[in-house]
Amino acid sequence: MTQEPLTPDQIAKARGFGTKGELPDPRLAGREYRKTATIHAVRIDHPFTVHTLEGDHAGKAGDWLARANTPKGEMWVIDADVFSKTYAPVEKSPGGSP
């Protein structure tokens, strides 16, 4: 007895995707990823706005202003709770480099 192939909707449902444009739960349908890029960041103690290519982004008092270590030096806001759970300080070697 041969099994009928699964339809795209059946495959999507099995992976945790809805069939009517719903977003999947990444814990069920996705994979784990780890951030590895080094950034520079500073905690801001007052409300602020960052102007980015995607538009203006507001930060709350206690949020972090991050800057990428890229030639363009993109900047963005990181929520204080997200920052504390996601980033750790880079330890410098005696010569000054990480």
pLDDT tens, 56-78?
A: 999 999 999 998 888 788 899 99
Please tell me the pTM assigned to this model. Answer: 0.59
| Bridge partners, residue 50, by sequence | 57
| Bridge partners, residue 43, by sequence | 64
Count of CA atoms in the C-beta half-sphere (13 A) of 28:
10
Averaged pLDDT score across all residues of the chain: 77
pLDDT value for 70: 80
Contact 15, 28 (CB under 8 A): yes
Chain mean position to CA 24: 16
- Rg (alpha carbons) of the chain, rounded to whole number: 21
pLDDT value for 59: 93
pLDDT value for 39: 87
Residue 22 has pLDDT above 80, yes or no: no
